[in-house]
Structure 1
Amino acid sequence: MKQVVAVTSKAQLEAFIDFPHDLYENDPCYVPELFIAQRDLLTPGKHPFHDHSPVQLFLAYDNGKVAGRIAAIFNKNHNAFNNTTDGFFGFFDCVNDKEISSMLFSKAEQWLKEQGATSIVGPANFSTNETCGLLVKGFDTPPFAMMPYNKAYYESLIGNVGLHKKVDLIAYRFGEDGYDDKSVRLKEAIVNRLKTKGIVIRPVVKKNFQAEVDKIREVYNSAWDRNLGFVPMTHKEFDYLAKDLKMILDTDFCLVAEKDGKLVGFALAIPDINQILINIRRGRLLPFGLFKLLFGMKKINGIRVIALGVVEGYRKLGIEACLYASIIEAYRKKKYKHCEASWILEHNELMNKALEHVKGVPHKRYRIFEKAI
């Protein structure tokens, strides 16, 4: 018998988190999420997203065995900011069974309608500020840090329930030497020119971490305020993310542009921690996962450029080039071999051309779907 039930207990939540481990068993590209991080993300009172928006998790069973999962998300902040009535789906994983997936989406859509949603958009876990998009191209390599991965047949399951493409997100890859270093060669001249305008580029100062985070949040929420689907992060949400990232942060890859004490731009690249997580069985840090995490950091040989933004009024002055150049210099110094810049909206011509110009190669494509409900 096939059925879908709402997640209401700790045991069901654990089953929800653990289902992908069984579904992707023996898949060489699958990277398990840390159990404790997923549990906190999905638990009201633990993650600040729940302070402003409701989430309902659903599990599908086939003859008593878990066969799928989905989260229905009604992001009130997103709707208020964008003047929409969107509902979202996320955390979608399913066996290759159209009946099971249809039942999951039916339950999610029904719940979203009850919240007042008139459309369903996704996947997003919970918004574009977290992992989002369905992998539709580039299944041959594991994902970089904080990027999703899924079965190739998911696109068919999602299309089967009437969802259609909203937009694609592109991930660019660079090899050990496969990039244009023009920005590095011009960096000194650009830095000197920026100084005449009172603008300096510097790494974040960890001992002043909270003050730095507060300033970066303002840049983040203004530099990206009109990107498709963007919603500003609350103070608590941004602090939560910053606290997680601080554990793996390398200040050589976390840079800010500052004018008279005010931040006007920043760039962030993080070590590809997925190179370690891929070997942590079922996402459990105990008993041995913690040692793999602690001792594996020195073996990481790749980074993901996760964000680079400059506020309106300071763009095209050379700040972007200096931020890129500083990341490339640190990349060389540490002798990294792999880099991904992700993700970029497919219609963001300025950023796509810039990455192609420095010899970035599009190697993965992710898709956001939508439909009216």
Structure 2
Amino acid sequence: MIEVRKIESKKDIKKFVQFQMDLYKDNTYFVPPIIKDELAIFDPDKNQVFKNADCWLFLAYKENKIVGRVAALINHIEIDEQKKSKMRIGWLDMIDDIEVTKALLNEVQKIGQEKQLEFMEGPVGFSNMDKAGLLIKGFEELSTMITWYNHAYYKEHMEQLGYVKATEWVEFKFKTPNPIPDKINRFADIIAQRYRLKSLRFKTTKEILPYVDQMFNLLNKTYSNLVSFVPIQEYQIELYKNKYLPFINPDFVELVVDESGKLVGFTITMPSFSKALQKANGKLFPFGFIHLLRAKKKNTDAAFYLIGIEPEYQGKGVTAMIFRNIIQNFMNYDITNCETNPELEDNLAVQASWKNYDPTLHKRRRTYRKDL
């Protein structure tokens, strides 16, 4: 018999976070999160998203053993301001037993119906800055620090339970071009001169801090027209600063400004921390931080995490300036393998950015929805 329990205590939330670690402990491709960071996500004192969101956490038990978890989420900005009647399904993990999946999702469904929402969708987080999507292709590819990993049966369970495709993302990998193609260099120079743009370089992470708010504002502008987008709130920015800035190498950040100094484009890339996080196994101490520091300084792999372009400059070649300098830095660091972050499958403009690098589509992920 399957029993689903609503949880609230810190002790049970630790079990909620730990379940994923236990489920994938012997999996070669799973990348564990930092447990401390995961716990902070569900702590209203540490995560300001609770100013505009509600969260219910559930654990499924079978024979007194934890066999699944799920979070039911409501983002009130989405409901009240954007008029999107969506119940969010988050942090969904379970053993290969469709009855467990059904029992967990039924709890989310009950809340959605009680709140008179129209549909439920997931897996997603509280906002677009959180992880999202079931992996449906690339089960034998190493995961990243900003994506969820899951077994193939998750997709089978969702579809058997009547959930249908909502949103899909694609991810690419490619080799770092060496040398940089002449046409990229020429085009980057032309764009810089035509629009009087210049690139900014940084020696320390501290030098980047004054631009962080502008970068998040630019992200809101860049993706505001996407159906699934929920604007990033000012009070959420501090959380993301604390969570990701320690991982950033200033040489892997590229900003482009106009002649007045206004930010018109940026990208944040990082050396891959996947293998380091596997070694850390969820803990920074006593030795986890050492693995992360080593990965930050010496690596053969890198990932594109965020990119934002001012709407009036989209489609005008600003990405050529950004990518030229980033790729040069990759060459300086002996980075030979690149991976993109998840991109909406119909976002052809972004995907066109990689066409000169002979990319391979190696992962797909998808959210599923069901009417309430």
Deviation at 1:357, TM superposition (A): 3.9
In 2, Cα distance between the equivalents of 1:184 and 1:201?
Answer: 15
- Partner of 1:203 in structure 2? 201
Q: Secondary structure at the match of 2:255?
A: strand
| Cα RMSD after superposing both structures | 2.0
CA contact (8 A) 1:304 1:339 kept: yes
Structure 1 unaligned runs (5+)?
none
Deviation sequence 1:320-348 (CA, Å, 0-9, x none)? 11111111111111111221112111111
Deviation sequence 1:180-225 (CA, Å, 0-9, x none)? 735543256235414xx33222135743444211211221111111
Deviation at 1:81, TM superposition (A): 4.6
Task: Please tell me whether residue 307 in structure 1 is matched to residue 306 in structure 2.
Answer: yes
In 1, Cα distance between the equivalents of 2:79 and 2:310?
Answer: 23
In terms of mean alpha carbon deviation, does 272-281 or 201-210 score higher? Answer: 201-210
Alignment map for 1:62-211 (pairs within 5 Å)? 62-177=62-177, 181-182=181-182, 184-186=184-186, 189-190=189-190, 192-194=192-194, 197-203=195-201, 206-211=205-210
- TM-score by structure 1 length? 0.93
- Partner of 2:255 in structure 1? 256
Alignment map for 1:314-325 (pairs within 5 Å)? 314-325=313-324
Q: Secondary structure at the match of 1:132?
A: coil
Q: Secondary structure at the match of 2:237?
A: helix
In 2, Cα distance between the equivalents of 1:57 and 1:142?
Answer: 28
In 2, Cα distance between the equivalents of 1:179 and 1:296?
Answer: 24
Q: 1:18 to 1:179 in 2, by over 3 A?
A: farther
In 2, Cα distance between the equivalents of 1:225 and 1:314?
Answer: 15
In 2, Cα distance between the equivalents of 1:330 and 1:233?
Answer: 29
Q: 1:277 to 1:232 in 2, by over 3 A?
A: same
Q: Secondary structure at the match of 1:212?
A: helix
- Partner of 1:352 in structure 2? 351
In terms of mean alpha carbon deviation, does 197-206 or 47-56 score higher? Answer: 197-206
- Partner of 1:240 in structure 2? 239
Deviation at 1:364, TM superposition (A): 0.4
In 2, Cα distance between the equivalents of 1:209 and 1:177?
Answer: 27
Q: Match for 1:274: what amino acid?
A: S
In 1, Cα distance between the equivalents of 2:80 and 2:201?
Answer: 34
In 1, Cα distance between the equivalents of 2:250 and 2:292?
Answer: 19
In 1, Cα distance between the equivalents of 2:295 and 2:217?
Answer: 33
- Partner of 2:220 in structure 1? 221
- Partner of 1:3 in structure 2? 3
Q: 1:297 to 1:357 in 2, by over 3 A?
A: closer
Q: Secondary structure at the match of 1:129?
A: coil
- TM-score by structure 2 length? 0.93
Deviation sequence 1:272-291 (CA, Å, 0-9, x none)? 1112001123x122333233
In 1, Cα distance between the equivalents of 2:155 and 2:317?
Answer: 40
Q: 1:9 to 1:192 in 2, by over 3 A?
A: closer
Q: Match for 1:190: what amino acid?
A: I
In 2, Cα distance between the equivalents of 1:123 and 1:295?
Answer: 32
- Partner of 2:265 in structure 1? 265
- Partner of 1:291 in structure 2? 290
CA contact (8 A) 1:304 1:342 kept: yes
In terms of mean alpha carbon deviation, does 60-69 or 111-120 score higher? Answer: 111-120
Q: Secondary structure at the match of 1:124?
A: coil
CA contact (8 A) 1:203 1:253 kept: no
Q: Secondary structure at the match of 1:292?
A: helix
Deviation at 1:89, TM superposition (A): 0.5
Q: 1:256 to 1:296 in 2, by over 3 A?
A: closer
Q: Match for 1:160: what amino acid?
A: Q
Deviation at 1:359, TM superposition (A): 1.4
User: What is the percent sequence identity of the aligned residues?
Assistant: 25
Q: Secondary structure at the match of 1:68?
A: strand
Deviation at 1:356, TM superposition (A): 3.0
Q: Match for 1:202: what amino acid?
A: L
Task: Please tell me whether residue 22 in structure 1 is matched to residue 22 in structure 2.
Answer: yes
Q: 1:179 to 1:25 in 2, by over 3 A?
A: farther
CA contact (8 A) 2:215 2:308 kept: no
CA contact (8 A) 2:166 2:367 kept: yes
Deviation at 1:51, TM superposition (A): 1.6
Q: Secondary structure at the match of 1:286?
A: coil
In 1, Cα distance between the equivalents of 2:248 and 2:156?
Answer: 38
Deviation at 1:178, TM superposition (A): 8.5
Q: 1:104 to 1:180 in 2, by over 3 A?
A: farther
Deviation at 1:239, TM superposition (A): 2.4
In 2, Cα distance between the equivalents of 1:95 and 1:287?
Answer: 31
Deviation at 1:53, TM superposition (A): 0.4
In 1, Cα distance between the equivalents of 2:174 and 2:70?
Answer: 33
Q: Secondary structure at the match of 2:279?
A: coil
Q: Match for 1:265: what amino acid?
A: G
In 2, Cα distance between the equivalents of 1:178 and 1:191?
Answer: 22
Q: Secondary structure at the match of 1:232?
A: coil
Deviation at 1:150, TM superposition (A): 0.5
In 2, Cα distance between the equivalents of 1:84 and 1:265?
Answer: 29
Q: Secondary structure at the match of 1:308?
A: strand
CA contact (8 A) 2:177 2:327 kept: no
CA contact (8 A) 1:179 1:358 kept: no
In 1, Cα distance between the equivalents of 2:198 and 2:67?
Answer: 53
Q: Secondary structure at the match of 1:102?
A: helix
Q: Match for 2:233: what amino acid?
A: T
